[in-house]
Homo-oligomer: A and B are copies of this chain.
Amino acid sequence: MRILVIEDEPGIARFLKQGLEEEAYAVEVADNGTEGLALALEQAYDLLLVDWMLPGLSGLEVCRQLRAAQNHTPLLFLTAKDTVQDTIAGLQAGANDYIKKPFHFEELLERIRVQLRPVAGPPERFTVGPIVLDVATHQVFRDDEEIPLTQKEFALLEYLLRHKGNVCRRQSIIENVWDIHFEYNTGVIDVYMNALRKKLRLHKDEDYLQTIRGIGYVARD
């Protein structure tokens, strides 16, 4: 799990970095708002720890701009400002928690874990039409009959179902399912979509996995 700490006071930054690394998090530190925002936007962090008062962009502004850019990485404010107005402003800006200094490191850790634990909880099942995908057991069913899928086929179907209703662009699919982050011209997705549709026995009129020409694919009921 990757955490970005945006904090200008070197002492606190070092303390956080060390403490979190002992908990096996991968920690990076930015010491001003501008750099922090840029990093948060271009890298895929699992969580952001943001100080309120920062040189350059304020923490609040970092949060606002991040959310405006459709980035929804969990963000925790960590701040000495403890007025109710600030707390409310921070949360309204899109933060997920607001922790007041001085804080206990153990409580911070626990609040971080709250954010990082899987959102929906264990019974993660996704469906489209007659198709059911169970993340926990790694099984896929069509009309209660189990369909054996390979790892990649499963990952692709899971990605599409997790974003059911939303169009998944080829680029996002390549990045999230194949973990390829540079430009890459390949036809793998087509091959796997083909395999999926065949294995799931999707007829022409059963367009649960639709092609959006020139864009990508969608799972729709």
Contacts and interface: CB of A to CB of B under 8 A. Distances in A.
Interface of A: 67, 70, 72, 84, 87-88, 91-92, 95-97, 104, 106-107, 110-111, 113-114, 119-123, 136-138, 150-151, 165-167, 212-215, 218
A40 to B, nearest CB: 14
A166 to B, nearest CB: 5
A150 to B, nearest CB: 7
Given A138-B215, A167-B137, A167-B138, A88 B110 contact: yes
8 contacts: A72-B119, A72-B120, A88-B106, A91-B107, A91-B111, A91-B114, A138-B218, A151-B215
Contacts of A104: 84
Copies per complex? 2
Contact of A107 (B84, B119, B122, B123): B84
Contacts of A107: 84, 87-88, 91
Per DSSP, chain A at the interface is: loop
A213 B153 CA distance: 12
Contacts of A214: 150-151
Given A137-B218, A218-B138, A70 B121 contact: yes
Contacts of A88: 106-107, 110
A166 B87 CA distance: 38
